[in-house]
Structure 1
Amino acid sequence: MKILKKAAAAALVAGTVVAGGVATAAPASAATYGGECGSGYSVVNSKSIGSSGTVFLTYNSSNGYNCAVAKRNTAGSAILIEVGLSISPKGNHWDAYEGDYFTSYAGPVYLSAAGSCVDWAGRFNGGTWYGKDGTNCG
């Protein structure tokens, strides 16, 4: 009887360690660009939006257009997601903008900016804008 209790206790401890390992081993996934702008667009810049997601700037060399997408790390219930893209300096508004309640990402928004630099950013739930100004000139 004593041997059975030890075996049961050892199994319980092993099960707890395995369960604990499984619960803590899964790291938060980071947003990755998944071709949301369409074929021919490649990521040329990106910026983390806090710990919630990433805003991606892509470019299509065949048509000369920039594209921006703000994407959550993990899709979930709909939240306010915004993305903006402008010829630098943007002034009081974005040249290309999308903002609404989405489960995964806002955008894509497109802009032809040949010979210019661009400002681009994204945000979640009306928080801080994360992006870059005056980049990817050309």
Structure 2
Amino acid sequence: MRLTRSALAAVALTALSVGATTALASPASAAPNTTPQKVCGSGYKTVNSAPIGSLGTVYLTYNSSNGKNCVTTIRNNPGNARAMSAWIYVPDTNEGDEDYGQYTSYAGPTYVYGRAHCVDWGGNIGSVYVQVLGSNCAALKEHRVTFTR
């Protein structure tokens, strides 16, 4: 399973790198100080997060009523559009969602059914990337990676 997870992580990382350089979406508009709940919707609670350097944070949220996870990347200081992303992947089911583009405030939301599954998720702002593998797996320890391209 380690080899499979490593291969999936490499695919996710490659997609993240390629997507971050491709501006396919129009800039998102949101007031400064938005929250993951405003982006993902009512019923979503933050269950995990990871800082993206000093630029912002990528959030993993969960809605217990529908079993879905949502990921969004939110900038600390909205402004001119920058390359941003938010993505989530469930290795057990091979389901995922991603959002890459040039955004002024946040990327996402991205949704996937994650009840009783480990999830891999992450995002970027500019050249700083974060990925969290094997997250929310009860007693298993997640693996976090932050890097700059």
Q: TM-score, normalised by structure 2?
A: 0.64
8 Å contact kept, 1:88–1:133: no
Secondary structure at the counterpart of residue 39 of structure 2? coil
8 Å contact kept, 1:35–1:41: no
Matched, 1:123 2:124: yes
Pairwise CA distance, 1:30: 8.5
Pairwise CA distance, 1:36: 1.0
Pairwise CA distance, 1:32: 5.1
Match of residue 38 from structure 1: 41
Match of residue 90 from structure 2: 87
Gap regions ≥5 residues in structure 2: 1-31, 139-149
Are residues 30 and 38 of structure 1, via their aligned partners in 2, closer, same or farther at CA, if it must alter by over 3 Å? Answer: closer
Are residues 30 and 130 of structure 1, via their aligned partners in 2, closer, same or farther at CA, if it must alter by over 3 Å? Answer: farther
Amino acid at match of 2:118: C
Amino acid at match of 2:101: D
Secondary structure at the counterpart of residue 36 of structure 1? helix
In structure 2, what is the Cα distance between the partners aligned to 1:112 and 1:53? 25
Gap regions ≥5 residues in structure 1: 1-28
Match of residue 98 from structure 1: 99
Match of residue 137 from structure 1: 137
Match of residue 4 from structure 2: none
- Give the length in aligned residue pairs: 107
Pairwise CA distance, 1:104: 0.2
In structure 2, what is the Cα distance between the partners aligned to 1:130 and 1:32? 19
Secondary structure at the counterpart of residue 76 of structure 1? coil
Secondary structure at the counterpart of residue 129 of structure 1? strand
8 Å contact kept, 1:46–1:57: yes
8 Å contact kept, 1:87–1:119: yes
Secondary structure at the counterpart of residue 35 of structure 1? helix
Aligned counterparts, 1:11-26, within 5 A: none
Larger Rg, first or second structure (1 or 2) = 1
Match of residue 13 from structure 1: none
Amino acid at match of 1:132: V
Pairwise CA distance, 1:116: 1.3
Amino acid at match of 1:136: N
CA displacement, residues 3-24 of structure 1 (integer Å, 9 cap, x when unaligned): xxxxxxxxxxxxxxxxxxxxxx
Match of 1:71 among 59, 67, 74: 74
Amino acid at match of 1:36: V
